[in-house]
Amino acid sequence: MRVLHYWRAMAGIVGRELLRFLHQRERFVSALVRPLVWLFVFAAGFRAALGIAISPPYETYILYEVYITPGLLGMILLFNGMQSSLSMVYDREMGSMRMLMVCPLPRWFLLCSKLIAGTAVGVLQCYAFLGIAWLYDIQAPLMGYAWILPALVLGGMMLGALGLLLSSFIKQLENFAGVMNFVIFPLFFMSTALYPLWKIKESSQILYTLAQYNPFSQAVELIRFALYEQFNQQALIFTGAAFLLFMGAAIVGYNPSKGMMVKKGGSA
């Protein structure tokens, strides 16, 4: 196989996913509505609960940008990763996944192409969210919007790999909702998406430990630091290691001779 064959295959998979996303406008709207509701409603309630009465610029900087906005970017990537895994289950039921997997290209390359496609969609959603937030004066440093791109890509790849891994276990669409809720809500609420780690430690030592080693927390911290032109080496290493672990397990899971496909009697 030549390099051109790999390039054409990847371009086709990524293009198909982007076209699917563009045609499903309700998916784009729902992906933005969810974090925007949290951004405006939850932050207002958080301020009222703490009795904060400070000037609007300072309030915007502390509540919206530092603590909430990066966490909501992580939420977008998390839900997009799970949505991508749903499309994998759907394609497998409809038979299109089987046609893709029997092509002469390596299976790991096809899975990586699907992952790149899903991550690209998630990154586009994140920048659309940041654009809407900018219109409401929820703004970060200008260079932060460039710094954040690698963090969004790595975080999206890690969460997308987790979605791929889960999709190798799920055989029917009816089982998807239960499994996703079992994964999404613990990952999100036991993280630093809404509260800083030091604040969680004041509340519960157990929750602090869970949040500290939560891969979603590390992805959020990587995004948070990057948005303000800072580098978090620990978060980078942790997120990268989690990506390699999840992606390796997903590749094994989709292997018809070794993975969950054979163990549960399903087909690729």
Beta-carbon contacts of residue 51 (< 8 Å; ≥ 6 apart): none
The reported pLDDT for the residue numbered 238 is: 94
Residues 191/68, Cβ–Cβ less than 8 Å: no
pLDDT of 193: 84
Find all residues with CB under 8 Å of 101, minimum gap 6, and list them: 107, 110, 254, 268
Q: Choose among 241, 216, 223, 244: nearest CA to 108.
A: 244
**Per-residue pLDDT tens for 124-149?**
889 988 888 888 777 788 898 999 99
User: What's the average model confidence in pLDDT over 258-263?
Assistant: 51
Residue 203 has pLDDT above 90, yes or no: no
* Inter-helix orientation angle 215-227/233-253, to 10°: 130
Q: pTM of whole model > 0.85? A: no
Q: Give pLDDT, residue 156.
A: 93
DSSP-based helix, strand, coil % in the chain, nearest 5: 80, 0, 20
User: Which residues does 216 contact at the CB level (< 8 Å), separation at least 6?
Assistant: 74, 78, 159, 187, 188, 191, 193
Q: What is the pLDDT of residue 268?
A: 45
HSE-CB of 16 using CA atoms within 13 angstroms: 16
Angle at 268 between CA 165 and CA 74, to 5 degrees: 25
Handedness of CA 8, 10, 13, 14 (dihedral sign): negative
Residue of 104 and 52 predicted with greater confidence: 104
